[in-house]
């Protein structure tokens, strides 16, 4: 038995792009978009809408910017079943540059925000909503949020924002199932008119399991990526999520085909997924940046000294 | 807060040995034994007690046989804090060849059994118990057991066997958290005088999550291996389990040191862990042997045809 309210969002290209400055080839972006459409994903997220006055086009791929001119070549000619999503970071997007929905191929915009920036997030999301888009607020690094401040932020979103969906984002891959259940219930209780989403990271091999735990606790918007590609330890693997969900509209085949055709090679070029340094930052509830830095050094396999360094820093 | 009844069993060498015919060097076996002792593991399992009239010593390493003469060189001179465990397969061990506990370095013997062989398992475990050992029955492939036959087997174990611990073994990595919770409760209800254990496989990246789910449902004996090494997709990673458990006797450091010193190299020599073929057999609740066979062919990345072949076979 399945829950028809469940929506799957493929963010392979968006979150995977964090590992290569969004330099995927247009051919690959189109293949992922097509496969996600055919697999029955409800949304496909291709990148960020970053301000061109802040970021240099010579240093990033087109999916860092996601203007209409960037997006149309990625999707045209492909039968559209999934809605198209882009992410916006507070302070890195120019709201004036966002066209009205009627002039855009984009259906949904997701605002990434820390708890401390929730006023800015609500302001931005309300502007985007007024232009006609579906919207989400993705509250990042929720494992570091103080409980009382998080509660206040959620109540404020419920009261002041027009947002459709609020995401629980375990940016550090630090949360265990009991904490996911607790937070899912809190989100639902404090925001009864909003849908809730989950975006999990895989530092402790819990991204898929925590997504299931969130589903059990009435979270309906589920992020996943092919082979779990994403920053550092990556995300919930789409192939596992579609294998679990019983909704007959989902089809694992287009995902498996693309994994075999392209992602075996991509894995040789880009390093993501479970490794001991990311497991350590997850266990310690820390940003993965220390692990990402370690993996670029000759000392990359010295796990014990890495662990002791992080423990000592935390104890200062 | 921790539960003092929790026992961790390291089966790195035993389950990892399934991937290389138990040909780990004596130096590595000793290193793993030492690290598991220092990390606070309650048990360390080094191999199988296989019948030498059935298996050829020229084809397998010493840890396939685990006689006293095989085991003593692996453990002598290392301070013993953990108990020593070996596994026995029904029909592959000669019970007469098992010495009394007073003449052995082994503390615990674990009998692996399918539900259909439960009479044989009880008979064997009672013989081993009479020799003075701690014992377990590990009910393999529980995802394939018919509910009524499993219930009868568990009630029979409770009534007729002297076994200390009964393990829930998700051999195919097919079970989701709700099923783990259901089975854990069933085991505990039908066998109130026995301890319950969990041995999870990682086909769907759920081995660690399902081990946590089992802990929540009063399972106290937990199997894990370094870096999750084990047959096919492998097992619950010890580094994650020790990072989760709050019992102050556990120390992650010896595990991290050995992972960096040796397991980076071992991963280049032995292929285990999450891959798409094993994810597919897990999703379909099938033995991983088809995946293991595929990975030895040139067609190893043709996931779609592998999936369709298995689906078609299942539908015949």
Per-residue pLDDT tens digits for A18-34:
999 999 999 999 999 99
Quick check: is B80 in a domain? yes
Q: Are residues B289 and B202 in the same domain?
A: no
Taking an 8 Å cut-off on Cβ atoms, the answer to whether B209 and A207 are in contact is no
Compute CA A158 distance to the chain's CA centroid, rounded to the nearest angstrom: 22
Tell me the C-alpha distance between A109 and A194, whole Å: 16
Query: Given this model, what pLDDT does residue A246 score?
Result: 87
Tell me the C-alpha distance between A275 and A295, whole Å: 10
Residue found under tokens 């010295």:
A302
Q: Are residues A35 and A85 in the same domain?
A: yes
Local structure of A152: helix, strand or coil: helix
- Residues A254, A41: contact at Cβ < 8 Å? no
- The CA–CA distances, whole Å, from A218 to A196, A207, A212, B124, B129 equal 8, 17, 10, 47, 47
Two tokens at B127?
Answer: 């013989």
Residue found under tokens 């709201």:
A95
Q: Are residues B162 and B311 in the same domain?
A: no
Please state the φ and ψ torsions of residue A217, each to the nearest 5 degrees: -100, 35
- Residues B64, B24: contact at Cβ < 8 Å? no
**B178 interaction partners in chain A (CB closer than 8 Å):** 216
Q: Quickly count helices (H) and strands (E) in chain B.
A: 13, 8
Quick check: is B56 in a domain? yes
Taking an 8 Å cut-off on Cβ atoms, the answer to whether B307 and A178 are in contact is no
For A217, residues 6+ apart whose C-beta sits below 8 A from its C-beta are A180, A181, A184, A185, A188
Nearest to B14 by CA among B79, B70, B58, B95: B70
Quick check: is B171 in a domain? yes
Taking an 8 Å cut-off on Cβ atoms, the answer to whether A204 and B243 are in contact is yes
Average of per-residue pLDDT values in chain A:
97
Residues forming beta bridges with residue A48, ordered by sequence position: A87
Q: Are residues B116 and B225 in the same domain?
A: yes
Nearest to A290 by CA among A269, A267, A311, A315: A311
Residue found under tokens 């073994």:
B169
Tell me the C-alpha distance between B67 and B90, whole Å: 17
Tell me the C-alpha distance between B216 and A204, whole Å: 18
Smallest CA–CA distance, residue B5 to chain A, in Å, is 20
Nearest to B255 by CA among B66, B25, B245: B245
* Surface-to-core class of residue A309, CB atoms within 10 Å of its CB (0-12 exposed, 13-18 middle, 19+ buried): middle
DSSP letter at A32?
H
Please state the φ and ψ torsions of residue A186, each to the nearest 5 degrees: -60, -50
Instruction: Please count the other Cβ atoms lying within 10 Å of the Cβ belonging to residue A189.
Output: 10
Quick check: is A1 in a domain? no
Residues forming beta bridges with residue A7, ordered by sequence position: A221
Angle at A103 between CA A102 and CA A105, to 5 degrees: 95
Two tokens at A142?
Answer: 């929720």
Cα torsion angle, B269, A265, A50, A33, sign: negative
Q: Are residues A288 and A265 in the same domain?
A: no
Query: Given this model, what pLDDT does residue B246 score?
Result: 87
Query: Given this model, what pLDDT does residue A103 score?
Result: 98
Tell me the C-alpha distance between A99 and A95, whole Å: 9
**B210 interaction partners in chain A (CB closer than 8 Å):** 209
Local structure of A267: helix, strand or coil: helix
Q: Are residues A84 and A182 in the same domain?
A: yes
Q: Are residues B282 and B265 in the same domain?
A: no
Reported confidence tier of residue A1, pLDDT bands at 50, 70, 90: low
Question: How many residues in total does chain B contain?
Answer: 316
The dihedral region occupied by B193, where left means phi > 0, alpha psi between -120 and 50, and beta the remainder, is alpha
Tell me the C-alpha distance between B190 and A242, whole Å: 34
Mean pLDDT by 10 residues, chain B (316 residues): 92 98 98 98 98 96 98 98 97 93 98 97 98 98 96 98 98 98 98 98 98 98 98 98 95 98 96 97 96 95 97 81
High-pLDDT (> 90) share of chain A, %: 97
Instruction: State the DSSP string of A36-79.
Output: HHHHT-SEEEEEE---TTTS-TTTS-GGGT--HHHHHHHHTTS-
The dihedral region occupied by B227, where left means phi > 0, alpha psi between -120 and 50, and beta the remainder, is left
For B161, residues 6+ apart whose C-beta sits below 8 A from its C-beta are B121, B122, B125, B126, B129, B137
Q: Are residues A111 and A255 in the same domain?
A: yes
Quick check: is A208 in a domain? yes
Domain CATH for B198: 3.20.20.70
Tell me the C-alpha distance between A104 and A83, whole Å: 12
Taking an 8 Å cut-off on Cβ atoms, the answer to whether A210 and B208 are in contact is no
Tell me the C-alpha distance between A250 and A239, whole Å: 11
Q: Which of A208, A303, A307 sits opposite B206 (nearest CB)?
A: A208
Based on its alpha-carbon atoms, the radius of gyration of chain B, rounded to whole angstroms, reads 19
**A275 interaction partners in chain B (CB closer than 8 Å):** none
Query: Given this model, what pLDDT does residue B316 score?
Result: 62
Tell me the C-alpha distance between B231 and B227, whole Å: 12
For A103, residues 6+ apart whose C-beta sits below 8 A from its C-beta are A68
Q: Are residues A231 and A100 in the same domain?
A: yes
Nearest to B44 by CA among B11, B77, B69: B11
- The CA–CA distances, whole Å, from A76 to A34, A41, B58 equal 10, 18, 62
CA-based nearest residue in chain B for residue A259:
B303
Two tokens at A178?
Answer: 């009991």
Q: Are residues A47 and A66 in the same domain?
A: yes
Tell me the C-alpha distance between A291 and A277, whole Å: 5
**B209 interaction partners in chain A (CB closer than 8 Å):** 177, 205-206, 208-210
Q: What is the pLDDT of residues A110-136, one digit of tens each?
A: 999 999 999 999 999 999 999 999 999
Q: What is the pLDDT of residues A257-271, one digit of tens each?
A: 999 999 999 999 999
Residue found under tokens 């019992």:
B247
Quick check: is B31 in a domain? yes
Tell which of A210, A224, A229, A260 to mutate to test the B interface (max B CBs under 10 Å). Answer: A260
Smallest CA–CA distance, residue B129 to chain A, in Å, is 37
Looking from the CA of B224 toward its CB, the CA atoms found within 13 Å total 31
- Residues A271, A295: contact at Cβ < 8 Å? yes
Two tokens at A260?
Answer: 């075999």
Q: Are residues A119 and A89 in the same domain?
A: yes
Size of interface A-B (CB pairs under 8 A): 106
Local structure of A179: helix, strand or coil: helix
- Using DSSP bridges, classify how beta strands A221-224 and B7-10 pair: parallel, antiparallel or unpaired: unpaired
DSSP letter at B259?
I
Quick check: is B137 in a domain? yes
Q: In this structure, what is the dihedral angle of CA atoms A128, A129, A131, A134, given to the nearest 10 degrees?
A: 100
Count of domains observed in chain B: 2
Quick check: is B1 in a domain? no
Tell me which residue range forms the domain holding A110.
Answer: 7-269
Tell me the C-alpha distance between B205 and B273, whole Å: 9
Tell which of A225, A256, A259, A299 to mutate to test the B interface (max B CBs under 10 Å). Answer: A256
Q: In this structure, what is the dihedral angle of CA atoms B20, B22, B24, B27, given to the nearest 10 degrees?
A: 170
Q: Are residues B116 and B31 in the same domain?
A: yes
Local structure of A162: helix, strand or coil: coil
Q: What is the pLDDT of residues A161-185, one digit of tens each?
A: 999 999 999 999 999 999 999 999 9
Query: Given this model, what pLDDT does residue B27 score?
Result: 98
């Amino acid at each position: 038995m399945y829950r028809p309210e469940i929506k799957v969002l493929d963010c392979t290209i968006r979150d995977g792009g964090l590992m290569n400055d969004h330099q995927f080839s247009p051919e690959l972006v189109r293949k992922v978009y097509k496969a996600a459409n055919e697999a029955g994903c409800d949304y496909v997220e291709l990148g960020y809408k970053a301000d061109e006055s802040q970021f240099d086009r010579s240093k990033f791929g087109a999916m860092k910017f996601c203007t209409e001119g960037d997006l149309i070549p990625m999707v045209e000619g492909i039968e559209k079943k999934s809605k198209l999503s882009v992410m916006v970071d507070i302070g890195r997007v120019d709201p004036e540059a966002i066209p009205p929905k009627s002039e855009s191929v984009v259906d949904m915009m997701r605002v990434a925000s820390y708890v401390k920036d929730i006023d800015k997030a609500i302001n931005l999301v309300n502007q985007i909503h007024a232009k006609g888009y579906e919207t989400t607020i993705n509250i990042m690094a929720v494992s570091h949020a103080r409980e009382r401040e998080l509660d206040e932020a959620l109540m404020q979103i419920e009261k002041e924002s027009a947002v459709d969906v609020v995401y629980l984002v375990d940016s550090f891959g630090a949360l265990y199932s009991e904490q996911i259940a607790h937070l899912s219930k809190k989100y639902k209780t404090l925001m009864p008119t909003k849908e809730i989403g989950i975006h999990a990271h895989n530092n402790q091999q819990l991204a898929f399991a925590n997504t299931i735990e969130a589903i059990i606790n009435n979270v309906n918007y589920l992020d996943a990526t092919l082979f779990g590609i994403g920053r550092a330890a990556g995300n919930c693997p789409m192939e596992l999520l579609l294998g679990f969900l019983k909704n007959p509209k989902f089809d694992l085949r287009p995902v498996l085909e693309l994994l075999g055709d392209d992602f075996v090679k991509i894995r040789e070029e880009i390093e993501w997924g479970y490794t001991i340094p990311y497991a350590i930052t997850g266990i310690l509830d820390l940003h993965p940046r220390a692990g990402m830095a370690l993996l670029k050094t000759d000392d990359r396999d010295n796990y014990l000294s890495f662990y002791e360094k992080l423990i000592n820093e935390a104890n200062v």
